[in-house]
Chain A
Amino acid sequence: MNVFVIVGKDDNPIYQAAFISQPKGSTELCHLHQFLIHAALDCTDEQVWTTNSLFLRAVDFFHEMHTSAYVTPGHCRFMMLHDQPKIEDNLKNFFLEAHELYLKVILNPFYEPNTPITSPAFDAKIRALGKKYLS
């Protein structure tokens, strides 16, 4: 199971995609994810100043869930919550391609920064990335 979240400047999720092979009780899962991601955000915010690499591998490990992060030069945070340790390259490539998609979204003058990304096409492409790199 993998949960991908893009977090805006106000620590609000602006995009979320769950790649779940066996959906369990979904509301509980949702709350747990939010909690874990928020906890991981603090770790991310610390690590962000220790390295200038965009990809921060495991920033947190809590409650049997790993969190990896990728922070763009504009400090947009991509978080991946996963229960299996991931092959690093796959995760990195996922983040890189997601980064490019994100860039295209924000270049549109009509997109208001830090607001939810609602484009179904964007969602479809992220899910395709999930299939490609995370299954």
Chain B
Amino acid sequence: MANFARSGEMAFLKADKINSEIFSLTYGAMVAQIMKDYEDIEEVNRQLDRMGQNIGSRLIDELFAKTGIPVSSNFMETAEVIAKVGFKMFLGITANVVNPTPQQYSLTFRDNPMVDFVELPDNCANLRYCNLLCGVIRGALEQVQIKVECHFVRDMLRGDETNEIQVRFLEQVRESALDQSFA
């Protein structure tokens, strides 16, 4: 486990970095734009998730390339890799794994470079501002044939004391199932 944390830190240290503000400002502008494109907030949540999925599927390669750590196809083992390597090397965040079971685990974190300056207005109570992250996790795990459901159970933008993403195991996707999609 200590290895994962160190790998994550080293990868972050060696990476080209940018100030988190340009990142959060850009993300904010994107969310605001998507909200203009879709009236329905649930649809916005879906679009954010989908964007995340798109990222997740590409992110795994980058993670492996920079750290040499393969993301395991064992569900429980993915927790530490995501928390200690994934979050750290891309967002510089320290995340923790909480309550891991073979069926689900939670990832908690407090700092979040996506939400500088953000305050949810009253009429956006349903908006999952960071839903992108859930999509990223889902998309990344799909690459190792694990299908999960992923959502925020605690959100600091909503007044909670920490952020918590719950990752729930759905099924192992067999390789043959992927082959079928090309038939």
Contact mask for chain A residues 32-43; partner B; CB cutoff 8 A; 1 contact, 0 none: 000000000000
Residue tally, chain A, CB below 8 Å to B: 5
Instruction: List CB contacts (< 8 Å) of B104-158 with chain A.
Output: 116-121, 124
In the complex, what residues of A have CB within 8 A of residue B117's CB? 104, 107-109
Q: Which residue of B lies closest to A103 (CB)?
A: B117
In the complex, what residues of A have CB within 8 A of residue B124's CB? 110
Interface majority SS (helix, strand, loop, mixed), chain A: loop
Q: Which of B32, B117, B124 has the most CB of A within 10 A?
A: B117
Q: Which residue of A lies closest to B28 (CB)?
A: A109
Chain A nearest CB, measured from B38 CB (Å): 15
In the complex, what residues of B have CB within 8 A of residue A108's CB? 28, 117-119
Q: How far is it, in angstroms, between the C-alpha of A110 and the C-alpha of B129 when the chains are bound?
A: 11
Q: Which residue of A lies closest to B30 (CB)?
A: A109
How many A-B pairs with Cβ below 8 Å? Answer: 21
Q: Which of A104, A107, A108, A110 has the most CB of B within 10 A?
A: A110
Instruction: List CB contacts (< 8 Å) of B40-82 with chain A.
Output: none
User: Quick check: A110 and B121 within 8 Å, CB to CB?
Assistant: yes
Q: How far is it, in angstroms, between the C-alpha of A104 and the C-alpha of B118 when the chains are bound?
A: 10
Q: How far is it, in angstroms, between the C-alpha of A117 and the C-alpha of B119 when the chains are bound?
A: 14
Chain B nearest CB, measured from A112 CB (Å): 8
| Of B25, B116, B119, the contact of A110 (CB 8 Å cutoff) | B119
In the complex, what residues of A have CB within 8 A of residue B25's CB? 107, 109
Q: How far is it, in angstroms, between the C-alpha of A36 and the C-alpha of B141 when the chains are bound?
A: 63
Chain A nearest CB, measured from B103 CB (Å): 36
In the complex, what residues of B have CB within 8 A of residue A110's CB? 32, 118-121, 124
In the complex, what residues of B have CB within 8 A of residue A104's CB? 117
- For residue B91, CB closer than 8 A to chain A, the reply is no
Q: Which of B25, B32, B119 has the most CB of A within 10 A?
A: B119
Q: How far is it, in angstroms, between the C-alpha of A108 and the C-alpha of B120 when the chains are bound?
A: 9
A residues whose Cβ falls under 8 Å from a Cβ of B = 104, 107-110
B residues whose Cβ falls under 8 Å from a Cβ of A = 25, 28-29, 31-32, 116-121, 124
| A-B contact list, 11 entries, CB within 8 Å | A107-B25, A107-B116, A107-B117, A108-B117, A109-B28, A109-B29, A109-B31, A109-B117, A109-B118, A110-B32, A110-B119
State the 3 A-B residue pairs at the shortest beta-carbon distance, nearest first.
A109-B28, A107-B117, A109-B32
